[in-house]
Structure 1
Amino acid sequence: MGSTANSPGFPIVGLSGPLLLAFSTDWALFAVLTVQLYLYYQAFPNDMVFTKVLVYTVYCINLTQVIFVTIDAFNTFGYGFGDLSMLTTTALGWLWLVTPIFGGIVACIVQSFYAFRLYRLSGSRIAPSIITFAALGMCGIGIFEGVSGREALRHRLRTPPVVVTTIFLVGNALIDITIAGCMTYYLIKSDMGFRRTHTLVTKLIRLSIETGLITALVAILLLALSVGIPGKLYFVVPGSSISTVYANTLLAVLNSRFQILNGRRDVPTSDIILSMPSNLRSTVGGPVVSITREEFPDGSNQAMELKQMNGSAIAV
């Protein structure tokens, strides 16, 4: 029988704490992803089939991931409650699949999608091709690392070489930063100076930088914890969530196309009410919400407006 949790002097918090945070973080991010998917489904029914397939594929991968994470969590804190050996064996049962393989595949899909958008925006094939091939290369390295990690857990061999992990994580971080930089450059070039276009371009630039930095920081944090603090489980927190972070950034970019007017922005309510047909106006006070779907500069979507007043919604 394995050692019990009552063994004196054993640093159990260093094992159970990171695992608990990792499981909780992954469930929370998946919940956010589910809400984002629902918003996308409601707001953009006319998106290209390619975009829809990509979105639902990424979601299904993360759904599979959260199932494996839940299995590890139940084996660790359910069946293995009080058994310290479970914290170092069963708890990492599917980590080899979740972090490098699922993370590498989702990162490749998301980065390739950004490369496609970059091609539509710039018209140049050089940068998008480099990004796509680099993403495919990092995906291959991630699969190799995952298979090596599985063999290490099965035969209790040494873990994959540090250089493989370093290349995988640094490569993905550099790709994300490159995408953010290229998108920012071409968006600035596409700014025509009109007020509405300038507002949209500014929002997209900010969104590109933010999403690129988030995914890059997660990869760098994972590298720092796995290589800089060997023998500890702190790396499982960003490691188990890297796939879901990429998926959330993708949905955040797609869902950024709709706006909520007359919320906390300084838009006069009377202007929106007066622009509505008379049969939609109401003498009852209350907020009027208008959600509009805009086009990206590459023209990849159509416009749609959803107006809601006093609990009723009409699609225009």
Structure 2
Amino acid sequence: MASATTPIPSDVFRWTCPLIVGYLLNFGLHGVLCVQVYYYYMAFPKDRVISKCLVFGLFLLENVQLILATHNTFTVFVIGYGNVDALFAVNLQWISIPITAAITSGTVQISFAYRIYLLSRSKIAGIIITAVALLQVASAFVVGVQYSHRGSLRDSDPKTNLTLALWFVGSAVCDIIITIFLTYFLSRQRTDIKATQKLVTRVTRLTIENGFLTAAVATLAAALCLPFPGTNYHVAPALLLGKLYSITYR
């Protein structure tokens, strides 16, 4: 039964729906990630050690994130069942959403900056991508700190909303920049060998698709953050960011 001291708010669905949708999709994407890592392990046994460390390091981090997300789910919907205040508790969301997602996205984006540098030998491109990536990572860490000091998720804070928006927008902008640079430099890799040109075309297409996917989710999170302060709407797409970056990283 509901808490005697805290009545059930009329907008309770605004808090429960994003959490349920976000956690369910997070669990589902983790299954996709497990398959991706298995295929990588089987297909590239002789890949560089640094590449293997990045892939399996991100996979380990996403496993930690899954454990934290599971803890949050049980705390809210099982242990806290019937307690309305549990719906608005911060719990470990301050680390399971912004911190882990920032580490994953920043690692992937900076690794792409290095790839672009190797492909184009353009230091400017690499510096721009790295700078934007570090900006969004720093914003996400600030969000985590801000949330860790909040007593309740219902306590709307304009500063936190702005930092959230900076995180999401920065992530989307970085993905768009990466997509533009990679598409441009790959399009210049012309060759008369059909098999090689076909491979370049395929890589270009995958780059555009992956960049669009992560940028679209980050943009959606930003769009749900600023217009709806003091709600949980942005949590659903935010929970997907880390998994999507890990899945699209190759």
TM-score by shorter chain over 0.5: yes
Q: Which residue of 2 aligns with 1:95?
A: 93
**Is residue 179 from structure 1 mapped to residue 191 from structure 2 by the alignment?**
no
Contact 2:162/2:226 (<8 A) preserved: no
Separation of aligned partners in 1, 2:14 and 2:149: 25
Aligned sequence identity (%): 33
Asked if the contact 2:146–2:160 (Cα under 8 Å) also holds between the matched residues in 1, the reply is no
Shift of 1:83: 2.2
Greater RCO, CA 8 A, separation 6+ = 2
Question: Is the 8 Å Cα contact of residues 173 and 215 (structure 1) preserved in structure 2?
Answer: yes
Cα distance in 2 for residues equivalent to 1:85 and 1:8: 9
Higher relative strand content: 1
Change in 2 beyond 3 A, CA 1:137/1:233: closer
Deviating above 6 A after TM superposition, structure 1's stretches of 4 or more consecutive aligned residues are 154-157
Q: Does 1:78 align with 2:78?
A: yes
SS in structure 2 opposite 1:153? coil
* CA distance in 2 between partners of 1:45 and 1:86 (Å): 46
- How far 1:49 moved relative to its partner? 0.8
Structure 1 residues 55 and 122, CA gap change in structure 2 (3 angstroms)? same
The residue that corresponds to 1:247 in the other structure is 246
Q: TM-score, normalised by structure 2?
A: 0.91
The 1:161–1:32 alpha-carbon spacing in structure 2 relative to 1, beyond 3 Å, is same
Q: Report which stretch shifted further, 174-183 or 128-137.
A: 128-137
Contact map agreement 2:153 2:230 (CA 8 A) in 1: no
Q: TM-score, normalised by structure 1?
A: 0.73
Letter in 2 for 1:59: F
Larger helix percent: 2
Q: Deviations over 1:31-61 (max 9, x none)?
A: 1111101111111111111111111111111
Please provide the CA RMSD for this pair. Answer: 2.1
Q: Give, in angstroms, the shift of residue 157 of structure 1.
A: 6.2
Q: Distance in 1 between matches of 2:8 and 2:51?
A: 55
1:169-193 residue CA offsets vs partner (Å, 9 max, x unmatched): 1111111001000000111101214
Would the alpha carbon gap of residues 131 and 9 (structure 1) be closer, same or farther in structure 2, given more than 3 Å must change? closer
Q: Residues 165 and 222 of structure 2 are in contact (CA less than 8 Å); yes or no, is this contact kept in structure 1?
A: yes
- What is the number of residues matched between the two proteins? 247
CA apart distance, 1:155: 11
Residue in structure 2 matched with residue 131 of structure 1 by the alignment: 129
3-state SS of paired residue (2:232): coil
Q: Mark the CA change 1:139 to 1:235 in structure 2 (over 3 Å): closer, same or farther.
A: same
Identify unmatched segments of 5+ residues in structure 1: 255-316
Pair 153,59 (structure 1): closer, same or farther in 2 beyond 3 Å: farther
Verify the 8 A CA contact 1:95 1:240 in the aligned structure 2. Answer: no
* Greater CA drift, 101-110 or 10-19: 10-19
Query: 1:2 deviation in Å?
Result: 5.3
Distance 1:81 1:8 in 2: 12
